[in-house]
Structure 1
Amino acid sequence: MSPTDATAAPAAPAGDGYPSPALAWAMVAVLFIAYIFSFIDRMIIGLLIEPLKADLGLTDTQVSLLQGFAFAIFYTIVGLPLGRLIDRASRMRIVAAGVAFWSVMTASCGLATQYWQLFLARMGVGVGEATLSPAAYSIISDSFPQRRLGLAMGVYGLGSAVGAGLAFLIGAVVIELISTAGSLTLPLFGELRAWQATFVIVGLPGILIAGLFLILPEPPRHGAATATPETQAVIPISEVWRFTLTRAGAIINLCFAVAMVNLAVFAAVSWLPAFLIRVHEFPLTTAGHFAGGTLILGGLIGLIGGGWLSDRLSGGSASGRLAFCAVTSSIGTVFALIFPLVGHPVLTGIGFTIFFASSAVPIGAGASALQQLVPNRMRATLSAVYLFIVNLIGLGLGPTAAALVGDTFFPTPDGIRYAIAIVSPISSLIAAGLFFLSARYTKRHESA
């Protein structure tokens, strides 16, 4: 059987060639749940910084490499060949395998007793998670007409904020439950310290989520269902790059704009619990509850509200979505400077929520614009390239950029507030400029 035949039974399309609305939203719901679990597993380490440093004798910079580089290096590199595979094989089966793998690797983090073991396990988490978003972008784009794509992408993207928020909330609960005993004994795993047990407890449930993708139908590739066998073949990579060069101003500026937004976000979010502990003197569990709540609230505003607004204000055009992203990134610049420096934790929470909501808009709107710019059979490949750039810069450098600025120029317990106040606003401002450029180039292509 050829790779193009190795797919699950396609979903029955509606009259416009898309799956029925109920089935389309069911697929978004399962992808949303998977995305939540991916961010729980990705971000849980942000709550465990202080116990990790104490048990393993680590610096902020070493922890930042676990948060960003160790995860991002294989997440980004493996994502490129996976994008090609997703363009030709069953997207549902690939995601199922990826979810199961990253869940096992997250649980493996809880077995680590040395830094290098934790580093390798975090790399494995990145390998598994590299399957999800390229496939999700392709699946959602084949499930909704363009005029409704922004909201659907926003709902999927909300999984990142909910997942990051739940990582801190769930982690806080687990640590609080274990703190009195100092350790927890689990079947097959033995006695684990609180931070080790947290990795195991949040990792293993993802295996059940993987099974959902094995029972969902594979949606038809919209725009390719009636094509000839020759046009259904996988597009050569040379043609993908040729197409990208013809729209380089739009696509490349979009990729780097979202990358800089991600850098601003991860520089702040990765250190948010530690910032609350060190600057506002929150207990660890209170910091987890506070950080988790503001992340979920900001994500709801930015991803659902922002996705809806991008559909309404853009008229469904890619250039309109990108211009909207430029405006929200400009708003994010202001509040990225404000929230770390204000003295009262309530003002910090309000400022961070606005910053995160503004920065969350491009997660859905930017991804939607990319799908509109790219032909069907190139979507997963170019989505993988997009995610390579976005995550290598944003996730790979964001946590470490803040840690290095703090360790180098502000080596005091509250130095992280000044590091965030430097890294996040500058990154957001650069993103706003790149979004404006991408919108301008995209408008030219739409007018041609």
Structure 2
Amino acid sequence: MNDKSIDIELVERTIQPEAQNFEHQPVSDHSPMHDQTTQMRSSAYHWYVVIICMVAYILSFVDRQILSLMIEPIKHDLMLSDTQFSLLQGLAFSLFYAVMGVPIAALADKKSRIKIIAIGIAFWSFATAACGLSKNFLQMFLSRLGVGAGEAALSPAFYSIVADLFPKEKLGRALGLYAIGAFIGSGLAFLIGGYVIGLLKNVNLVTLPLIGEIKTWQLTFMIVGLPGVLLALLMILTVREPERKGLKIGQDGQVVKASFKNSIAFIKTHKKTFFCHFIGFSFYTMMLYALLGWAPAFYMRNHGLDASQTGYILGIIILVANTSGALFCGWLIDWFSKRGYSDAAIRSGMIGCAALIIPSVLFTQVDNIYLSFALIFVAMFFSTFPIPASAAATQMLTPNQLRAQVSAKFLLVSNLIALGIGTTAVALITDKYFQNTVMVGNSISIVNAVAGVLGTFLLYKGCQYYRDSIQVEKAAEHL
């Protein structure tokens, strides 16, 4: 046996006992392996919370969006003009959605956000079903107010929760995943509505126990409304309130209270930033609602599609284009963040708004229906950016105890401008200027052109203001 083989044998004898001892050593509760398993479980739970809130967001958009597909039978049975219908679609919903969001958000910054979301889901689900019982404009208007009031509980509370679950470099993707709920919901609203309308196209009245005879569009509201009650119960049973992180400390060394006054003071401290953020994203969102709210009417009136065909086609476009757009925006925000851009969210919003202008204006101006579908597909992709981008910008700047309230104030402004004014502006231009319902496509183009230019300009200006605000808050943390 040579010297080299003796050396190898000696090394093996030395190493093997240590390896055997290591293999039989029990894993400590505090070992790296245990910590990694715990971290993976925690991460999976955090994504579960996002997913269940996304499902709630899906239901909320099904409940609010299905109205636009049933525009013709509702107008006929309730004897409404385009302007009256736009009030049901826009103002009736956005009024309480925006206004009720402020006091509900104040509770969310102090009390259990999970319970607030669950109660809101159940409330708007019953209100949606109540839309199916409406016999006139006033009853439908009040039911839509209820839908808005219930849905006001979801987004501000969720935005506060998600910032406690994820670090900033993952916040964009989490908000992007949540945001796709809006577009899965809108797509399903068109698909489900199209299917039900097609299924019941030869049926005018349906008889229900205790309720009596109702129209098929009324039955549709009941079908899409009630599943939310089960989701509310699931949330209460499976989701726990997360620990609050990132609380702001005042100059006196005490935690700043979660009050309406302090949220206003914080907004005033960064007034240029929030002006560009609130108004810029509101104009951007106006374009989204003009597309979602009036594209069905455009295709039915100008290209001869029926409600069922329109529902299927737009439903597929929204499910593919809008969901991929929201996820892309979330990725883009994180991509900018990892490269050191403190204005990552505002910057992503500005890019999306600029890219949306041309396709959102042109899809109503081309004669070829397939080219129109191609253009609205591109428009729908970029129309999704304001939801994750505006939310990420707010959460990255705002301290924990004020996040829900600042988010609610943004939603107040955004929905009054985007949903309340935007959808009604399309109807008013059609009714008062063109005085011809077939010209709704031109009205969409006018609103989108003006809103797109204003939104892009404000978000461009907002990037610098936002970077300055981030520096101010970082400096305050080190005082």
TM-score by length of 2: 0.87
Going from structure 1 to structure 2, the CA distance change for 1:428 and 1:337 (only over 3 Å counts) comes to same
Deviations 1:318-374 (A, max 9, x none): 412212211110110111111111112221111112112112112102210110010
1:267 matched to 2:290? The reply is yes
Are the aligned partners of 2:431 and 2:437 in contact in 1 as well (CA < 8 Å)?
Answer: no
- Residue 234 of structure 1 deviates from its aligned partner by 3.3
User: What does 1:42-441 correspond to in 2, within 5 Å?
Assistant: 42-215=64-237, 216-224=239-247, 231=254, 234-315=257-338, 317-441=341-465
Are the aligned partners of 1:318 and 1:369 in contact in 2 as well (CA < 8 Å)?
Answer: no
- Cα distance in 2 between the residues matched to 1:16 and 1:438: 40
CA RMSD in angstroms, aligned pairs only = 2.2
- Residue 197 of structure 1 deviates from its aligned partner by 0.6
Are the aligned partners of 1:87 and 1:234 in contact in 2 as well (CA < 8 Å)?
Answer: no
Q: Which amino acid aligns with 1:433?
A: F
Unaligned runs of 5+ in 1: 1-12
Q: Which amino acid aligns with 2:165?
A: S
Task: Tell me which structure has the larger Cα radius of gyration.
Answer: 2
- Cα distance in 2 between the residues matched to 1:14 and 1:42: 42
Going from structure 1 to structure 2, the CA distance change for 1:56 and 1:62 (only over 3 Å counts) comes to same
Deviations 1:32-73 (A, max 9, x none): 000000000011110010001111111100000000001111
Count matched residues: 434
- Cα distance in 2 between the residues matched to 1:18 and 1:187: 50
Query: Secondary structure at 1:332's aligned position in 2?
Result: helix
The sequence identity of aligned pairs, in percent, is: 38
Query: Secondary structure at 1:20's aligned position in 2?
Result: helix
Q: Point out the more displaced range, 243-252 or 150-159.
A: 243-252
Query: Secondary structure at 1:180's aligned position in 2?
Result: coil
Query: Secondary structure at 2:133's aligned position in 1?
Result: coil
Query: Secondary structure at 1:184's aligned position in 2?
Result: strand
- Cα distance in 2 between the residues matched to 1:321 and 1:311: 8
Q: Point out the more displaced range, 88-97 or 335-344.
A: 335-344
Q: Return structure 1 stretches of 4+ with deviation > 6 angstroms.
A: 13-19
TM-score by length of 1: 0.92
- Cα distance in 2 between the residues matched to 1:391 and 1:413: 25
Query: Secondary structure at 2:207's aligned position in 1?
Result: strand
Q: Point out the more displaced range, 15-24 or 178-187.
A: 15-24
Q: Which amino acid aligns with 1:113?
A: K
Are the aligned partners of 1:106 and 1:121 in contact in 2 as well (CA < 8 Å)?
Answer: yes
Q: Point out the more displaced range, 431-440 or 177-186.
A: 177-186
- Cα distance in 2 between the residues matched to 1:173 and 1:14: 47
